[in-house]
């Protein structure tokens, strides 16, 4: 008894990624969080969030295009997501003559809604733990195959939680006919561009509108003009009451990847080596693309999506380093590791005496391999080694050619300079030696790609890249190369996380631990909240149209708002979307909340305590990007576009009020 009491006293000092510090909760297990959620303002039940027996919120949320989230807002399949999530689709439909990126797109009828080849959405049908089934001898492949056979358009996967301590089956229904309905001009949907990305205050109307179509039986079907709007089991009511500081918020979406349990050594590698290297390389790529875009409107459109993809992570990594460094996360994790060793020993747990030392030793071994893999991914693997005949015949290709050549030069130069931890690819090293410089070698390979794509030198380089990747995979023992991992690291992390959960169980707090995000459906809850930025200045959690007007600048593409928005502000004729803020008639644009989010949560519904839609999640504040590794409630905030601004833009800018007529509005 004395030993147990001592152990419990020791355990109170151990810091864990628990409820007080954020959380991404599995919806099938959300009943364990309902008491706390209700204390914070939630007014519904666990069954309202997730049910397999009746319609629930999960039936109104989709995995959008494999990497974002979307939500149903009408009984006719109308779907909201982010503008940046729909960006590729909007770009593919755009041209200089029909520049939907610049001017926006508003379908005036169902017939005008645009199909998108390859774009799909997935609804979660159910999730279930299969840990015991796999332990009993069933294979994940067999479980998945049986689940896929259950219905039309069914897809399934078995996903690891807590580094394999638990396995869950996720069964989805996939719809492949998803059509573009509306998108605001980029000067609204991408207002502020890269300058405002990850920054608060924010004034971005980051939304787009799609519609899911199905066969006449309401089942998934390939695109056909005979398909009809999908009739969902559930759609969200849209609240026009708005939010105030302190109001409960819940995010329901598909967060992509977090690393809450990684070593302090890995955090130092990210801050000191990995992120700085990737930032530097992407800066060069962005400079090349931005110069091309500034020189030619057609190139601006052609490279818009690529620039956005590169820039998003580039700026995110900068904020991540800033947050992790200033909050001392590596040192904090090092202290937690020391406590783990002491407290597992005090609790009498066997098999943990050398675990942390083994983890650190394994990471030191794999570090050069992981670094080289990241370097390849940012340099040589970004390049195209063939262009189709159709691309070559495109009149725009001649103007793209110098840009592509410069990207080749930059990639070759960076790989040559930075490949110092493993031996460079032999064909690359020999090519540089023959040509004299990495840039000269890049020019030669690029010319061959255009003139003779089957040339032996290209094939030798491609094989060399593949061989280096194979060597890295062989050294790491896995093709799953996220999160500075290896097969051995994964085994050790599994034991480490199992130990953390055992310690939490002794305190009766095991349910306060959440598994890392892995693009499966999760619930995060918090509240509308301002914060103090690095300058110590308190920032309120709400922005308005007045801030857009203050930033408006016709000379800068990302700040040149539509004249219609200027006119609305001048007349204050906002209609039913107007509110009073500090005695001013205005419209809310964005708000901050304390929900734990990451990539994949883009487009997620932000819901109030009654389960009504109040916003669309689209970003985090700059230092909040550290929440992929450690959620700090003092500074970590998600950013959402206020649904009232979305409705204003649809109604008064797009003239598409008929879309609002489909929605269920509540006040």
Cis peptide before 201 (omega within 30 of 0): yes
Strand partners, 248: 527
Q: Decide if 206 is catalytic.
A: yes
In our burial notation (b when 16+ CB lie closer than 10 A, e otherwise), range 498-525 reads: bbbbebbebeeebebbbbbbbbbbbbbb
Q: Decide if 451 is catalytic.
A: no
Helices and strands per DSSP (H, E), number in the chain: 25, 24
- State both tokens at 76: 């006719």
Residue 425, CB half-sphere, CA atoms under 13 Å: how many? Answer: 29
CA distances from 431 to 407, 420, 445, 456, 465 (A): 18, 17, 9, 12, 13
In this structure, are residues 624 and 594 in contact, taking their beta carbons and an 8 Å threshold? Answer: no
3 state DSSP class of 493: helix
Q: How far apart are CA 374 and CA 377, in angstroms?
A: 5
Residue of 28, 602, 604, 624 marked active site = 602
3 state DSSP class of 287: helix
Q: What are phi and psi of 125, to 5 degrees?
A: -80, -50
Let me know how long the chain is. Answer: 667
- State both tokens at 149: 């056979």
Residue of 177, 194, 206, 628 marked active site = 206
Residue of 83, 84, 373, 596 marked active site = 84
- Please name the residues in contact with 297: beta carbons below 8 A apart, sequence gap of 6 or more: 96, 99
DSSP 502-569: HHHHHTT-GGG--PPP-SS-EEEEEEB--EE-TTS-EE-SEEEHHHHHHH--TTSGGG---HHHHHHH
Name which of 100, 97, 77 is nearest 179 in CA terms: 77
- Please name the residues in contact with 418: beta carbons below 8 A apart, sequence gap of 6 or more: 277, 281, 375, 379
Q: How far apart are CA 188 and CA 561, in angstroms?
A: 7
- Residues classed as catalytic: 84, 206, 602
């Amino acid at each position: 008894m004395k030993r147990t009491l001592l152990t419990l006293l020791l355990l109170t000092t151990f810091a864990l990624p628990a409820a007080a510090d954020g959380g991404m909760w599995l919806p099938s297990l959300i009943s364990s969080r309902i008491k706390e959620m209700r204390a914070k303002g939630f007014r519904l039940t666990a069954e309202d969030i997730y049910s397999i027996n009746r319609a629930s919120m999960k039936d109104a949320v989709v995995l959008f295009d494999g990497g974002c989230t979307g939500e149903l807002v009408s009984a006719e399949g109308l779907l909201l997501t982010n503008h940046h999530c729909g960006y590729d689709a909007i770009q593919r439909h755009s041209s200089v003559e029909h520049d939907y990126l610049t001017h926006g797109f508003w379908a005036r009828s169902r017939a005008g809604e645009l199909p998108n080849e390859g774009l799909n959405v997935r609804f979660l049908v159910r999730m279930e733990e299969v840990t015991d089934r796999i332990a009993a001898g069933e294979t994940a492949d067999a479980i998945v195959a049986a689940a896929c056979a259950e219905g039309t358009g069914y897809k399934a996967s078995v996903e690891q939680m807590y580094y394999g301590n638990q396995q869950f089956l996720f069964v989805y229904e996939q719809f492949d006919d998803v059509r573009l309905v509306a998108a605001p001009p980029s000067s609204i949907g991408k207002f502020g561009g890269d300058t405002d990305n990850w920054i608060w205050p924010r004034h971005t109307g980051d939304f787009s509108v799609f519609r899911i179509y199905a066969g006449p039986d309401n089942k998934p079907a390939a695109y056909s003009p005979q398909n009809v709007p999908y009739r969902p089991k559930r759609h969200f009511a849209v609240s026009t009451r708005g939010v105030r500081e302190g109001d409960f918020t819940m995010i329901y979406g598909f967060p992509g990847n977090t690393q809450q349990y990684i070593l302090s050594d890995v955090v130092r590698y990210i801050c000191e080596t990995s992120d700085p290297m990737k930032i530097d390389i992407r800066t060069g790529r962005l400079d090349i693309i931005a110069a091309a875009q500034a020189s030619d409107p057609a190139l601006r459109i052609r490279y818009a999506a690529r620039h956005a993809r590169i820039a998003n992570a580039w700026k995110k990594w900068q904020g991540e380093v800033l947050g992790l460094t200033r909050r001392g996360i590596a040192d904090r994790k090092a202290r937690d590791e020391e406590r783990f060793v002491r407290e597992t020993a005090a609790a009498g747990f066997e098999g943990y005496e050398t675990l942390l030392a083994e983890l650190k030793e394994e990471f030191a071994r794999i570090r050069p391999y992981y670094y080289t893999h990241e370097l390849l991914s940012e340099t040589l693997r970004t390049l195209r080694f063939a262009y189709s005949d159709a691309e070559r015949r495109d009149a725009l290709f001649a103007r793209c050619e110098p840009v592509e050549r410069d990207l080749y030069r930059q990639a070759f130069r960076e790989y040559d300079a930075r490949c110092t931890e493993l031996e460079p690819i032999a064909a690359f090293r020999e090519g540089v030696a023959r040509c004299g410089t990495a840039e000269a070698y890049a020019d030669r390979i690029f010319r061959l790609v255009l003139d003779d794509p089957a040339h032996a030198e290209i094939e030798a380089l491609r094989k060399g890249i593949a061989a280096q990747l194979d060597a890295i995979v062989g050294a790491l023992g896995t093709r799953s190369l996220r999160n500075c991992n290896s097969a051995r690291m994964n085994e050790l992390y599994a034991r480490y996380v199992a130990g953390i959960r055992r310690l939490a169980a002794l305190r009766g707090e095991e349910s306060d631990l959440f598994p890392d995000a892995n693009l499966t459906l999760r619930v995060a809850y918090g509240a509308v909240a301002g914060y103090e930025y690095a300058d110590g200045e308190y920032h309120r959690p709400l922005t308005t149209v007045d801030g857009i007007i203050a930033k408006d600048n016709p000379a800068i593409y990302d700040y040149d708002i539509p004249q219609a928005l200027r006119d609305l502000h001048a007349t204050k004729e906002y209609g039913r979307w107007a509110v009073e803020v500090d005695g001013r008639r205005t419209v809310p644009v964005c708000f901050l909340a304390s929900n734990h989010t990451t990539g994949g949560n883009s487009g997620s519904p932000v819901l109030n305590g009654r389960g009504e839609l109040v916003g669309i999640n689209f970003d985090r504040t700059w230092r909040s990007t550290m929440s992929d590794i450690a959620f700090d409630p003092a500074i970590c905030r998600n950013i959402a576009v206020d649904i009232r601004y979305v409705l204003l833009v649809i109604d008064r800018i797009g003239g598409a009020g008929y879309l609002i007529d489909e929605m269920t509005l509540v006040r």
